[in-house]
Amino acid sequence: MNYWPNTLWPNSPRLQHELNALALISESPPPVVTRVLFSEADLRGRAFVNNLCREAGLALREDAVGNIFARWTGSAPELPAVATGSHIDAIPNAGKFDGVVGVLGALEALRTLRAAGFQPRRSLELVIFTAEEPTRFGLGCLGSRLLGGVLTPERAARLADRDGQTLDDWRARGGCTGPLAAVPLPQQHYAAFVELHIEQGPVLEQENLAIGIVEKIAAPSTLRLQLTGVGGHAGAVLMPGRHDAGLAGAEIALAVESAVTSTGSPDTVGTTGVFRIEPGAVNSVPCRAWLEIDVRDTQTATRDAALAQIESAAAAICARRGVQLELERLNVDPPAICDARLVQTIAGLCHTLGLSHRTMISRAYHDSLFMAQVCPTTMIFIPSYQGYSHRPDEYSSPEQIEAGVRVLAATLATISNA
């Protein structure tokens, strides 16, 4: 049948019910959502989503790292498919919308198209990515990094959590089999990838706009530091003779703030999001400290300058305090430039649907950053209340989510028949 964007109306009550149901699958009590990679809650969340995909008539497969693919086969299955999707894992003390809107909302977009009688020419595929969040291994977008060939299978196999459990250990618990070398996708495996996501920032809400269309995704990087000092009794080791790993770490955290605020770019940000010390006793001088530092910018030059300044400062601080430093760059990624034709297509559809919109930069990074290595990519943002995210009170209204699903459904229909 002929397709027209204004005929596409998602079943919002069904989608809200599913968002609420998935939020209850958590390692923490409501309203907190926590689903760390291959935890019991993560596995139950995966099963929940898989069941919904089967009920929608989609064909499921899972790769060796746990990326899930749910396909609606088109009339020309030999052509590269059109993909959408996001993630359902959640950091500790998170909310219920980050990533999940891009999975359950995408599923609802496919159901909306099917209910409207639409028949895709290119197959449509929903991708649920493994471990977008860096909680387990300190490295974000694990599944999409492997799919995009940015992370080699050899390096992925060396990943380990703080207890020494490797990726192979965890994926075995998750029931994922097969070689990691089979995960990467060939170039142009998909005709396009479009990710629906909450903005995680305040711009759309402040400007009273319904939709953001992403034209560039910021460049992220992560440092991991291990500091080894000398422990001792808090009363017996006098201050001039201390080699306190905790104080060295604290000074490094302040050096991060100094570095990112002095680049001249308003988009440079740095966060010391992990800071642990041992032995962790009030009457003992810290002998070891572990830090993980996130540094981002929309420009690689200023991001890299901040990284270099942080690394130099860390070395100087540890030398002055007599503390041993081990520093590793877990990732230093380039920004992604989104496909201009996709951006224009979505802008035109927003106009047709009567939805206010603007182009924008994503200062958070997403699986789209790495899918851009495989195929033309962009993102559709919906407003976030107060810009809140990665906290239990993140919120997007049913109406805002519905608008995003309508735009996504129209986009998938348009490009699947191109």
Residues of the chain with pLDDT under 50: 1
SS3 category, 59: strand
Cα 306 to Cα 312: distance, rounded to the nearest angstrom: 10
Domain boundaries, the chain: 5-218+335-416, 220-332
Per DSSP bridges, beta strands 124-129 and 81-87 are parallel
The answer to whether 346 touches 407, Cβ cutoff 8 Å, is yes
DSSP 232: E
Cα 59 to Cα 144: distance, rounded to the nearest angstrom: 20
> Residue written as tokens 């017996």?
236
Token duo for residue 283: 């009457």
Cα 368 to Cα 45: distance, rounded to the nearest angstrom: 22
Per DSSP bridges, beta strands 211-217 and 377-382 are antiparallel
Which residue type, as a one-letter code, is found at position 165?
Q
Find all residues with CB under 8 Å of 93, minimum gap 6, and list them.
Answer: 28, 32, 34, 390, 391, 392
- DSSP H or E stretch at residue 297: strand 288-297
For residue 285, what are the CA distances in angstroms to 230, 245, 259?
A: 8, 8, 28
Which residue type, as a one-letter code, is found at position 375?
C
Cα 300 to Cα 306: distance, rounded to the nearest angstrom: 10
- For residue 353, count other CB atoms closer than 10 A to its CB: 17
Token duo for residue 83: 């993909």
Q: What per-residue confidence (pLDDT) applies to 3?
A: 61
Find all residues with CB under 8 Å of 358, minimum gap 6, and list them.
Answer: 204, 207, 209, 211, 212, 213
Q: Nearest CA to 89 among 49, 36, 140? A: 36
φ, ψ of residue 316 to 5 degrees: the values are -65, -40
Which residue type, as a one-letter code, is found at position 303?
R
> Residue written as tokens 């996130």?
294
How would you classify residue 264: left for phi > 0, otherwise alpha for psi between -120 and 50, otherwise beta? left
Per DSSP bridges, beta strands 377-382 and 190-198 are parallel
Q: Nearest CA to 246 among 163, 160, 317? A: 317
Give me the residues paired with residue 166 across strands: 160
Number of H helices, E strands in the chain: 12, 17
User: Looking at domain 5-218+335-416, which of 3.40.50.1980, 3.60.10.10, 3.40.50.2300, 3.40.630.10 is its CATH number?
Assistant: 3.40.630.10
> Residue written as tokens 């002929």?
2
What is the CATH code for 220-332? 3.30.70.360
Q: Nearest CA to 210 among 13, 401, 418, 413? A: 401
Find all residues with CB under 8 Å of 116, minimum gap 6, and list them.
Answer: 1, 3, 7, 8
φ, ψ of residue 186 to 5 degrees: the values are -70, 155
Q: What is the DSSP string of 336-379?
A: EEPPHHHHHHHHHHHHHHT--EEEEEESS--THHHHTTTS-EEE
Cα 187 to Cα 334: distance, rounded to the nearest angstrom: 18
